């Protein structure tokens, strides 16, 4: 059984959510896949405080908040799909805080070799930089990258073609999983 953890980094349940849902469902179609979708905004995640290298010494984060609920999910996942709206040509603060708080796993190499995929949505511009931030996160954690998509909406609702792109990414992830 392959476990897919999908992360929605928008505070809203709109474009990013719909795209991440489409990617996730397309992966699940291959069968033998367990999926879980997490809205970061449902979790109370504080900023990394850059404390005194507690996580480097212990492999754990000393901040007792909802990130503690996500650590086991991340550890168990084989695939991590992260979606973000583009905010100021970057990921949202929700995603950045989440990324920063995975630092214990940097020291324990807990995400190493897991598969990552990314989705970025923008109204107009900056989506590639948002994708690049997520791709760097995967790289720093020594993860494998299955692919990514960026969608520019022009402040319009998602088109069928956008959802098709999401499904294609999902199929690509599924195909990568069959190869490993």
Q: Is 24 in the site for ligand FMN (CB under 6 A)?
A: no
Q: Residue 116 Cβ, how far from ligand FMN at the closest point, in Å?
A: 19
Three-class SS of residue 44?
Answer: coil
d(C-alpha 142, C-alpha 52), whole Å: 24
Question: Angle at which helices 15-28 and 160-179 pack, to 10 degrees?
Answer: 40
Residues 89-108 that bind ligand FMN (CB under 6 A): 89
CA distances in angstroms from 126 to 23, 72, 90, 105, listed in the order given: 21, 32, 7, 28
Residue count at the site for ligand FMN (CB under 6 A)? 17
Contact residue for ligand FMN among 6, 10, 24, 102 (CB under 6 A): 10
How far is 102 from 100, CA to CA, in rounded Å? 5
* Minimum CB distance to ligand FMN, residue 124 (Å): 4
| Cα–Cα distance measured from residue 34 to residue 149, given in angstroms and rounded to the nearest whole number | 22
76 binds ligand FMN (CB under 6 A): no
| Shorter beta-carbon distance to ligand FMN: residue 50 or 157 | 157
Under the rule (CB under 6 A), what is the footprint of ligand FMN? Answer: 10, 12, 14-16, 85-89, 121-126, 153
């Amino acid at each position: 059984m392959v476990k897919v953890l999908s992360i929605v980094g928008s505070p809203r349940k709109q474009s990013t959510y719909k795209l991440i849902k489409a990617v996730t469902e397309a992966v699940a179609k291959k069968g033998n896949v367990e999926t879980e979708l997490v809205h970061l905004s449902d979790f109370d995640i504080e900023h990394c405080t850059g404390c005194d290298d507690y996580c480097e010494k212990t492999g754990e984060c000393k901040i007792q908040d909802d990130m503690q609920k996500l650590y086991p999910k991340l550890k168990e996942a084989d695939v991590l799909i992260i979606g973000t709206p583009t905010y100021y040509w970057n990921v949202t603060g929700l995603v950045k805080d989440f990324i920063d708080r995975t630092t214990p796993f940097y020291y324990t190499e807990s995400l190493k070799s897991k598969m990552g995929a990314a989705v970025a949505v923008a109204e107009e511009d900056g989506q590639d930089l948002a994708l690049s931030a997520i791709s760097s996160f995967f790289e720093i954690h020594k993860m494998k990258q299955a692919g990514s998509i960026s969608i520019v909406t022009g402040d319009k609702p998602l088109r069928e073609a956008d959802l098709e792109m999401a499904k294609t990414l999902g199929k690509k992830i599924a195909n990568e999983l069959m190869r490993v």
